Amino acid sequence: MLHIIGIPNCDKVKATKKWMDSKGVEFEFIDVKKEPLTLDEIKDLEFKVGLDVLLNKRGTTYRNLGLKDKDLSDEELLEVLEQNQSMIKRPVLVYEEAVLVGYDEEAFENFLKENELLAD
């Protein structure tokens, strides 16, 4: 099953869920506020897409923590990300081993077709 990871009040997550519904795609929503990802789950996502893709450096949490001015290792950033999961760029789509990060309808379409979740 396709998983959409994010927070429910995020406009991009809402739009993603609506887009998936409009295409008739079944998914399970994972609310990281209620069910935070484990450090291992975050590391797995980071391994698949890279920290630069996974970490939202434009969000308020990133700015409020002053991370731009800190020289943190990837390991330290992952630990901060575990404690502040609203810094995960949204939405995160996960299907088996495939991961897609960010709102992009064309990318959604390609991702779903590649994983045979959407007919041509």
Select which of 1, 9, 10, 21 is catalytic: 10
> Is 17 annotated in the active site?
no
C-alpha distances in Å from residue 18, one per residue of 10, 26, 103: 12, 11, 12
Alpha-carbon gap, residue 120 to 113, rounded angstroms: 7
Check residue 60 and give left, alpha or beta (phi > 0: left; psi -120 to 50: alpha): alpha
Alpha-carbon gap, residue 84 to 37, rounded angstroms: 10
Alpha-carbon gap, residue 103 to 108, rounded angstroms: 8
The residues annotated as belonging to the active site are: 10
